[in-house]
Structure 1
Amino acid sequence: MVAPGHVLAADQGAAVSESGEPGVINTAPPAEPEETDLGPAPELEPLPEQTGKTPVDTPDGQYCGPTQRIYTPTSKGREYHKGVGVTHSNYNGTSRTGTSTFTSEVTGEVGVSVTAGLATSVDVMVAKLEAKYDVNLSVKLTAKQGNTWSVPTPPKTTTNAKYGVYRLKNTGTSYIIYSNCSTSAKKTVTSYTPIKVGWYVWES
């Protein structure tokens, strides 16, 4: 019998609440991200050729240096859990507290998801987020098969558990500034970036 709150597997996989607090049993399934236009990180189009000089056809024009892709974080949000594999459930029909043990059955990779408008690379965006909020993020994390979690289940209660990856929600502004100092349209970008692997556990 395993003590409650102990992770058996050697790889990552703690049970944490949706807000990121370890050891918390939730009262509802993990919330879905609010945005419906999430997608994988976009492929970036090549920037205009750089000459390092003011364009010859505009000798009096401003020069702001080489064209740059800009991303600025503006708001740190909550953590959202993205499950890998099925939801596990165990009902305790007895009058005593029992132990539910769950084991992940598949291996899955979870990456960054963003709304439209990111003008820079995901690597640059992640670096900006880490620097601003003093967090450790990843472009992708893998939830592995075979990770096991045990938790007490109260009488007449169902314990549910889902293994996967927690992603941190962020909002930022992204655009391109060109060598003549003009800019592309500034876009508000919402992103979900992997921060840790773990179980989301709730009772029903």
Structure 2
Amino acid sequence: MFADDPASAPAATDPGDAVATAPPAQPEEADLTEGAPDAPASATTDADDKADGVPSSRGCEQGWYYYPTSKTKDYHKGVGAEQSNYNGTSRTAKSTFTSEVSGTVGIAYSGELNVKGDTAVVEISGKFGVTVSASLTARIGNSISVDTPAHKTTYGRYGVYRLKSYGYSQHTYVNCGKGAKKNVTIYTPHRVGRAIWEG
């Protein structure tokens, strides 16, 4: 369950929706790098990366390109401290969570992302028909109130949901030959929101 930032599109919420009983899943990649490259990488000279195509008379625009192949789901990246509220009464009570800090969440990836973040975002958006960004800001003051059942604890975390997808970077040479594919797992900011769960 999440509450959208006023700057993003509102989500349809059903009062009867069940609250999760565990926090949202976190990315499992041990080598995850926060932040996309600021500039495209230069072409490598390894044998695997050399052009393998027949020279073309028309030529190609030389450089790195990113090709998304599949996507999975959103993963929540928190901004600020996780909040909680225990209801020690015998009746349902309201818990209100208000964000106390503001923070910007950008792209994270593992593998060789040899293009700028904006380039990857354009390709992912076009491939999957979703709106993702190079960064999104979770702002201070966002508030949500939820029911906490008797003798239960409600937890809340404010931040940014990032879409996990897969793809590869590949260098194209001026003769239209292509280098080796460099696999990438990438998390692109999808929406600002809040994760809520009970324990």
Scaled by the length of structure 1, the TM-score of the pair is 0.80
CA 1:13–1:124: 2 relative to 1, 3 Å: closer
> What is the match of residue 173 of structure 2?
178
> What is the match of residue 93 of structure 2?
98
| Equivalent position amino acid for 1:193 in 2 | T
| Contact preservation (8 Å) 1:16, 1:201 | no
> What is the match of residue 130 of structure 2?
135
Scaled by the length of structure 2, the TM-score of the pair is 0.82
Deviating more after overlay: 81-90 vs 29-38: 29-38
> What is the match of residue 30 of structure 1?
24
> What is the match of residue 55 of structure 2?
62
For 1:116 and 1:136, how far apart are their aligned partners in 2? Answer: 23
For 2:4 and 2:60, how far apart are their aligned partners in 1? Answer: 54
Structure 1: which 5+ runs fail to align? 18-22, 49-60
Pick one of 95, 117, 122 that aligns with 1:122: 117
For 1:6 and 1:80, how far apart are their aligned partners in 2? Answer: 12
CA 1:6–1:167: 2 relative to 1, 3 Å: closer
> What is the match of residue 39 of structure 2?
44
For 2:97 and 2:62, how far apart are their aligned partners in 1? Answer: 51
Q: Where do residues 14-29 of structure 1 align in structure 2 (5 Å cutoff)?
A: 24-29=18-23
| Equivalent position amino acid for 1:62 in 2 | P
Q: Give 1 or 2 for the bigger CA radius of gyration.
A: 1
Runs of 4+ residues deviating >4 angstroms? 5-17, 45-48
Aligned alpha-carbon RMSD (Å): 2.8
Q: Percent identity?
A: 46
Structure 2: which 5+ runs fail to align? 44-53
Residue 97 of structure 1: CA displacement?
0.5
SS of aligned partner of 2:28: coil
Deviating more after overlay: 27-36 vs 95-104: 27-36
Residue 167 (structure 1) aligned with residue 162 (structure 2): yes
SS of aligned partner of 1:115: strand
